[in-house]
């Protein structure tokens, strides 16, 4: 590599780290004036994810110097933790696990091949649950018992999370097809591209600043910027389904609002990769994606 090219790489790297410092952190040390909300916004995750990863509640007071784990951004988990409750699955075979010092719901789930929503569901726990040492929890019978968390394990996991966060778009795209005129979508007559893999849903083409409308009534559970998805909002139906509208250019509702079917939620944003107006639309049940085309409309 030529000297000039090498210097350019060094300069670009310095700019990148300055602009996106949160991608390099393995943990976060609380500073004076910090709140769960401000930290979640810094790392572009939800408050619920931050609490689950650190076994804290909204009423806990953060202290300057306190270290927090920043979990991997997972929009399915974020959606599930934003609901009022997680539905149980009585068919799952489980074994008992005793909570150890340093455990969190996030850590126990990861160590036992579960997602946080799955762990909550098989224990009939609320999404805001805080666990205690000695508490008995159920984990999947096929999973190996979790070892107590240590500071080094926490840092290693957090480093891998940050590495994943800095990777470019790795979604797998499927076929593109025209919308069925009999199926209601958040934007009018979109071209629909399937998204597969860990992130599962559809990408919908749109017109510039086109209105994004609610396709199923429900309560707005979350509004904010989410890592890798831009402006996001979750609408929860009375049956517990979460409809995720992401990549919005603007949002016209706030958390706690009740959105009726057909109500304007915001406008379509410009995709940073394609440079075209579009949104990504997903539907979740207990953190697991379901086919948006088959999800109920109202």
pLDDT given at position 182: 86
pLDDT given at position 171: 67
User: Is 88 in contact with 133 (CB distance < 8 Å)?
Assistant: no
Q: What angle do CA 18, 20, 23 make, to 5 degrees?
A: 125
The CA distance from 298 to 292, in Å, is: 13
pTM of the model: 0.76
**pLDDT tens column, 51-60:** 999 999 988 9
pLDDT category at 252 given cuts 50, 70, 90 is very high
178: pLDDT strictly greater than 50: yes
267: pLDDT strictly greater than 60: yes
Q: Which residue has the higher pLDDT, 37 or 140?
A: 37
Average pLDDT taken over every residue of the chain? 82
**pLDDT tens column, 146-167:** 444 443 343 433 343 443 344 4
User: Is 279 in contact with 245 (CB distance < 8 Å)?
Assistant: yes
286: pLDDT strictly greater than 90: no
pLDDT given at position 141: 77
Average pLDDT, stretch 88-96?
A: 73
263: pLDDT strictly greater than 60: yes
Percent of the chain with pLDDT over 90: 57
- Strand extents, DSSP E, the chain: 28-29, 67-68, 94-98, 136-140, 172-178, 191-196, 201-205, 211-213, 218-226, 230-236, 242-251, 258-259, 264-270, 277-285, 288-290
11: pLDDT strictly greater than 50: no
pLDDT given at position 89: 58
**pLDDT tens column, 78-89:** 999 988 666 655
pLDDT category at 15 given cuts 50, 70, 90 is very low
Q: What angle do CA 71, 76, 81 make, to 5 degrees?
A: 70
Q: Which residue has the higher pLDDT, 113 or 250?
A: 250
**pLDDT tens column, 201-248:** 999 999 999 999 999 999 999 999 999 899 999 999 999 999 999 999
289: pLDDT strictly greater than 50: yes
Tokens coding 55 = 């076994």
pLDDT given at position 85: 62
The CA distance from 208 to 274, in Å, is: 13
Average pLDDT, stretch 129-144?
A: 84
> Quick check: helix, strand or coil at residue 20?
coil
Cα–Cα separations (whole angstroms), residue 234 to 99, 106, 275: 31, 21, 24
pLDDT given at position 18: 35
Q: What angle do CA 80, 58, 243 make, to 5 degrees?
A: 20
């Amino acid at each position: 590599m030529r000297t000039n090219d090498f210097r350019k790489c060094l300069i670009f790297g310095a700019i990148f780290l300055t602009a996106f410092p949160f991608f390099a952190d393995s943990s976060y040390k609380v500073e004076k004036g910090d709140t769960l909300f401000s930290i979640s916004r810094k790392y572009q995750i939800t408050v619920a994810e931050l609490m689950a990863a650190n076994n804290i509640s909204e009423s806990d007071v953060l202290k300057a110097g306190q270290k927090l784990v920043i979990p991997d951004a997972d929009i399915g988990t974020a959606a599930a933790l934003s609901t009022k409750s997680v539905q149980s699955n009585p068919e799952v075979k489980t074994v008992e696990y005793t909570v150890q010092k340093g455990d969190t719901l996030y850590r126990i789930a990861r160590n036992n091949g579960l997602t946080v929503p799955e762990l909550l569901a098989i224990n009939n726990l609320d999404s805001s649950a805080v666990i205690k040492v000695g508490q008995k929890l159920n984990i999947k019978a096929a999973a190996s018992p979790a070892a107590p968390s240590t500071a080094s394990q926490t840092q290693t996991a957090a480093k891998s999370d940050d590495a994943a966060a800095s990777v470019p778009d790795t979604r797998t795209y499927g076929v593109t097809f025209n919308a069925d005129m009999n199926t209601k979508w958040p934007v009018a007559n979109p071209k629909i591209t399937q998204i597969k893999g860990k992130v599962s849903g559809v990408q919908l083409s749109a017109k510039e600043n086109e209105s994004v409308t609610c396709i199923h009534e429900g309560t707005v559970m979350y509004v904010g910027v989410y890592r890798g998805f831009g402006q996001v909002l979750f609408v929860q139906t009375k049956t517990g389904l979460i409809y995720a509208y992401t990549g919005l250019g603007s949002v016209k509702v706030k958390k706690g609002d009740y959105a009726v079917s057909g109500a304007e939620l915001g406008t379509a944003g410009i995709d940073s990769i394609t440079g075209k107006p579009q949104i990504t639309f997903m539907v979740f049940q207990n953190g697991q994606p379901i086919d948006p085309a088959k999800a109920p409309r109202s």
